[in-house]
Structure 1
């Protein structure tokens, strides 16, 4: 049975897209069939998987506006076992264009209902804001994976996000759960990173993944080459960390 995971955080710059791209690629590398959905108008997940977003004529925007069917939009086998529903800047206009649309929070959920069984995992990269696009991701998802940067204001942003998830759960998707928190940009040389990890574990009554994603030069370089880290530098610390995270995600499903 397919599991749908939204990768979300209202704060930007926390490694959300990096996590969506590299978790997807690591799950695919382990033989899982994966669909990655880019629902962020920045389209960074699309370009991070090697697709030139400026040359796309059909994207998730056309699905949201009911101008194209899902099977016309999915780019199959971007990498082995990994397909993509792409996005680009066109999506930025969807918010206003959908204002009078009925069931506008459920467009994505309704669209993928018939194809979700074809995949082991569907990973959705959300915008760093609470918009109609994020709501579509949260109504579609079974769980929310929350990347948190190891920095001073991490807990503050996280509390807001958990409140949002609970609101969506109460009003739009009563099956929605928090998949867990994954720490990103961890710098073992600083006391602050360690303090943030300890503080979140102490204050947060939700699952925290054992895998911590380190600050890693190769991880930072990979998007500019349009590759997930396991393709760009398979032996790097970043690649190994995302493989471990994928293993935890798979094991949690099996539990």
Structure 2
């Protein structure tokens, strides 16, 4: 029996505060709970995903820094950069804040450096995992370009309470088209995920309507993630997923539903299960 296809995707919005890392952490955890073999790749030097999911971030030896560093003299084995997480079936390729210092060296090697991540991970990830999710920084930087060149798809989280996050959607779609035109033609946009929604607030309803008008209702996930003090607590703790911290909360239920919708997009034959 042949192994099922592995899908590699970037979670990106160049506007901050859109729930990007919360989406990356909890979707990857949700997929792992559904018995999928998942790798989360933290390409954001802020390293919030690393702190949330690694059992002991202090024990990082090799990580995304060594993989992307154009000055690295010794080839790094990808297996030495991958660690287990707090969830079974979920591994992580972590990051450290020092990676932010690689932006200029990588830019000097542009455009060849766009392919650094893909060249280092693609074959291994495709062989070992069902899904790989890349948590991108809130920029349109060389790190995001690396993520998109390594990806099969892009999904974009937005904050229901912020009209500015819709401008971030436009920026990511434009960068995605550039990547498609310059070497990764199979990269596709899947959908927008609306985060931090409170349907009692008129501004949230207006922003959702604006998103539907600008990008098409068919390009927005049916599932929305509610605003919740649970997420605020997790962000403050900077450690754990909603499934570990509060598995019966509305936030956890939102991500359970979203995980099923996400899986139905890639595995439609299983959508009725």
1:17 paired to 2:30? no
- Structure-2 separation of matches of 1:236 and 1:165: 35
- Residue in structure 1 matching 2:212, options 186, 196, 201: 201
Q: How does 1:138-217 map to 2 (within 5 A)?
A: 138-150=148-160, 151-205=162-216, 207-217=219-229
What residue is the counterpart of 2:117 in the other structure?
Answer: 108
Q: In the comparison of the two structures, how many residue pairs are matched?
A: 255
Equivalent residues in 2 for 1:19-168, closer than 5 Å: 19-53=23-57, 56-65=60-69, 66=72, 67=74, 68-101=76-109, 103-116=112-125, 117-150=127-160, 151-168=162-179
Conservation of the 8 A alpha-carbon contact between 2:140 and 2:172: no
Q: Map residues 235-250 of structure 1 onto 2, 5 A cutoff.
A: 235-250=248-263
Partner Cα separation in structure 1 for residue 6 and residue 64 of structure 2? 20
**d(CA) in 1 for partners of 2:193, 2:14:** 15
Listed one character per residue, the Cα deviations across residues 214-243 of structure 1 (whole Å, up to 9, x for unaligned) are 111112212416111011100001111111
Structure 1 residue 159, shift from structure 2 partner = 1.8
Q: Write the distance in 2 (CA, Å) between the matches of 1:101 and 1:163.
A: 22
- Following TM superposition, by how much is the alpha carbon of 1:169 offset from its aligned partner in structure 2, in angstroms? 1.3
Structure 1 residue 156: Cα displacement? 2.5
Tell me, yes or no, if the aligned pair for 2:54 and 2:85 is still in contact at 8 Å. no
- Provide structure 1 residue ranges, at least 5 long, that are not aligned to the other structure: none
Across the aligned residues of Structure 1 and Structure 2, the Cα RMSD in angstroms comes to 1.7
**SS of corresponding position for 1:211:** strand
Q: What TM-score comes out, normalization by structure 1 length?
A: 0.94
How far apart, CA to CA, are the structure 1 residues paired with 2:224 and 2:191?
12
Q: Distance in 2 between matches of 1:69 and 1:136?
A: 18
- Hey, what's the Cα distance between the residues in 2 that align with 1:97 and 1:152? 34
With normalisation by structure 2, the TM-score equals 0.88
Deviates more, 1:110-119 or 1:176-185: 110-119
